[in-house]
Amino acid sequence: MGATQLTVACLGAGYFSQFHYGAWARIPEAVCIGAADQQIARAEATGVPAFADLESMLDAGCPDILDIILPPPAHRSAILMALDRGVKTIICQKPFCVDLEEANAVTLLAQHAGARLIVHENFRFMPWYRAIRSEIDAGRIGVPLQGTFRLRPGDGQGPKAYLDRQPYFQQMPWFLVHETGVHWVDTFRYLFGNPTAVYADLRQINPVIQGEDAGFVLFDHPHGVRTLFDGNRHCDHAADNQRRTMGDAHFEGTDGVLTLLGDGSVTFRGHGQFEPEPVLPADTWDGFGGDCVYHLQRHVARGLLEGTPLENEAQDYLEVIRIKDAIYRSAETGRKIALDELWQPRIR
């Protein structure tokens, strides 16, 4: 791509969109030329040219990138309209589409249109997971054996749970894994490769929501690695900001352990040692998740301009949806699910 700056249009101006707009404003390779939302006042509040819908925004000009910041039921129609109008790069928030069938279909349509479709799965772009991946790849913990993440955001108690931020959480029939746990489905596979089997024990604690809000998910990875997602939205963890890391983690190997704390810091303790060594200092970013939204969006902008590979393209992200479906099947049947039971060939 010969341009030095990309034009970006954003669809959606709800709660989480603030992090998208704020990130685009700080990315020198991009300029935001439009914001669309059914509540036009919310679009106007972004400070960029505002539109009441996607159609009118695309009528004003075809952007290099369309950033879709909407819940899953709106993804398909927005992607189809963007493809029909010739948009060649689309970023779409997660959870991606309403189910695997729909995600497969829009991914195939994007490929046939010669468009890049990227899922906005940002947790792997958190600085602590990039640092942990670098340490594992460098052999710091020796042969990897296992990893555990404890989700403890402490925001799920009482009748008003989630109403101040994302009230639709209460109506989601699948919640803990579908909305939140998928972040660690992707993070674990980023660190250790796609799992080969899953076992899940899920439960609902807060009766005001429809879906599950606590549970354990065990993943089998290649080379004998095991990971555990231990999620409970009622409990909290030691952090000044419960949404920075949303919990804590340990990644263990034959030579030591990497530990992630709620302040975003990472330490290494060698096998047989007592004192941990610093790997990454505590996070000082006031916004969401170590500025992971910015890191993902700049990764896309640079990749498009420099021709470098992009992470989380939709064809690859379909694996996350298949894994999520296997988790729910395991919870329903009470047995470990080998992922080839649900595996479908990648689309071509």
CB 142 within 8 A of CB 254: yes
Q: How many residues does the chain have?
A: 348
Whether residue 187 has pLDDT greater than 60 = yes
User: Strand 6-11 to strand 65-68: parallel, antiparallel, or no bridges (unpaired)?
Assistant: parallel
CA distance 88 to 184: 29
CA distance 37 to 20: 14
Average pLDDT, the chain: 95
Instruction: Measure Cα distances from 53 to 147, 191, 249, 329 in Å.
Output: 44, 39, 41, 37
118-150 per-position pLDDT tens digit:
999 999 999 999 999 999 999 999 999 999 999
Instruction: Give the residue from 64, 76, 72 showing the smallest Cα distance to 9.
Output: 64
CB 85 within 8 A of CB 59: no
Whether residue 347 has pLDDT greater than 50 = no
**Higher pLDDT pick, 342 / 245:** 245
Instruction: Give the residue from 207, 205, 225 showing the smallest Cα distance to 215.
Output: 205
Q: Is 133 exposed, middle or buried (0-12, 13-18, 19+ CB in 10 A)?
A: middle
Give the least confident one: 23-32, 166-175, 201-210. 166-175
CB 41 within 8 A of CB 97: no
Whether residue 346 has pLDDT greater than 60 = no
Which residues, in sequence order, are bridge partners of residue 11? 36, 68
Instruction: Measure Cα distances from 348 to 79, 154, 165, 178, 341 in Å.
Output: 19, 42, 39, 26, 20
pTM assigned to the model: 0.93
Give the pLDDT of residue 345. Answer: 43
**What is the rounded average pLDDT of the residues 217-221?**
98
Give the pLDDT of residue 166. Answer: 86
Determine what percent of the chain is predicted with pLDDT higher than 90.
94
Instruction: Measure Cα distances from 304 to 8, 9, 108, 121 in Å.
Output: 13, 16, 20, 18
260-274 per-position pLDDT tens digit:
999 999 999 999 999
Give the pLDDT of residue 3. Answer: 57
Whether residue 246 has pLDDT greater than 70 = yes
Give the pLDDT of residue 207. Answer: 97
Half-sphere exposure of 169 toward its Cβ, with a 13 Å CA cutoff?
A: 22
pLDDT band at 308 (very low <50, low <70, confident <90, very high): very high
Q: DSSP label at 212?
A: -
**What is the rounded average pLDDT of the residues 315-342?**
94
